[in-house]
Amino acid sequence: MKLGIVGLPNVGKSTLFNAITQAGAEAANYPFCTIEPNVGVVAVPDYRLDKLAQMYNPEKYTPAVIEFYDIAGLVKGASKGEGLGNKFLSHIREVEAIVHVVRCFEDANIVHVDGSVNPIRDIETINLELIFADMEVLEKRMDKTRKSARSGDRKAQEELEFMERIYKHLEEGKPSRTLDMNDEERELIKQYFLLTSKPVLYAANISEDELINGYEDNKYIKAVEEYAKNEGSEVIPICAKLEEEIASLDGNEKQAFLEDYGLEEPGLNRLIKASYKLLGLISFLTAGPKEVRAWTIKKGTKAPQAAGKIHSDMERGFIRAEVIPFETLINCGSEVSAKEKGLIKSEGKDYVMQDGDVVVFRFNV
């Protein structure tokens, strides 16, 4: 599951990406992750895992991870193949969600490609390129579907109408993710692999000063929040430069630094957690003296498929899951006490896993 970091030049993408790679998890421990210079693998901060580690004192501590893909070079005209435009658009095709970095800081020393700080114009510049690319994809599909529709194929006729509706929406300068759709249409549109269907969150890059002293007076971030609200997206304020500094510090130094600045946690942590959610992911947890670990699943995953994340044998031979919500376990103080109180529930194959479930799977070998 990869997110792409996009944004105009000079807004702070590389700075943010550096912070991510420095904070990053050792990619070698995660064999499923891509190891490329422009991909950063990063642990998903999870206080629950820390608490479980205190409880079990395990040999190994394994958080969930996500990957960020640095997609630099998206500029005006990209959809027309200007610059290395098409290449960047194809990189966006490969990610499941987008982190759109927008510049909300003033700094006379840092040139803005369009001459002034204006995050809404910036967002629309990028969005328009993605919209153009989607229109092209859709035009090709519509041509094909039109042929089938003409030959009397009812399904094709219906689909063509839906495509026309999307196309019109795009023509109005709106991303396809904001189109009103029923469940069936929502499934259908997935097959078109449109760039503007991907979920987005906006990382508003603000100054160090504003991050520390509050950004209530920052009119740029207000505008971004308003814009994001209209399309149902989230905004995470971040100071890329400060994050880069924080990420370069080790444990104790980092803690001291955060305290000095009166910050509870690095902004990067909030960004990572929001990104995980944006991908529709949740974690279930396993805990014991050998390892405490967070396992990544899609929201809505049932118990046997979750077990399959650990080992395919566990899915095949699934008998039941013994489940306790994290908070309940912590309130009991120990697994033994939770068991005595009868708070560990036995769940069958239809159980839908919840975020933060602490689980033991029983299975036949």
Task: Name the residues that contact ligand GDP, by CB under 6 A.
Answer: 7, 9-15, 72, 105, 107, 110, 205, 207, 239-241
- Characterise 7 by phi-psi region: left (phi > 0), alpha (psi -120 to 50), beta (else): left
Q: Quick count: other Cβ atoms within 10 Å of Cβ 353?
A: 25
* CB 199, min distance to ligand GDP, A: 21
* CB 363, min distance to ligand GDP, A: 47
Do residues 150 and 133 make contact, with C-beta atoms less than 8 angstroms apart?
Answer: no
312 is in an annotated binding site: no
118 is in an annotated binding site: no
14 is in an annotated binding site: yes
- Which of 75, 70, 110 minimizes the C-alpha distance to 92? 70
- Which of 73, 90, 67, 72 minimizes the C-alpha distance to 3? 67
21 is in an annotated binding site: no
Q: Which is nearer to ligand GDP, 178 or 207 (CB)?
A: 207
Rounded CA gap, 359 and 365, in Å?
18
12 is in an annotated binding site: yes
Rounded CA gap, 32 and 25, in Å?
13
* CB 14, min distance to ligand GDP, A: 3
Q: Which is nearer to ligand GDP, 85 or 356 (CB)?
A: 85
Q: Which is nearer to ligand GDP, 40 or 304 (CB)?
A: 40
* CB 309, min distance to ligand GDP, A: 34
- Which of 95, 65, 91 minimizes the C-alpha distance to 3? 95
* CB 303, min distance to ligand GDP, A: 43
Query: Cα–Cα–Cα angle for 20, 232, 187, nearest 5°?
Result: 95
62 is in an annotated binding site: no
Q: Which is nearer to ligand GDP, 72 or 156 (CB)?
A: 72
Rounded CA gap, 130 and 170, in Å?
10
Residues that constitute the known binding site = 10-15
Residues that constitute the known binding site for ATP = 10-15
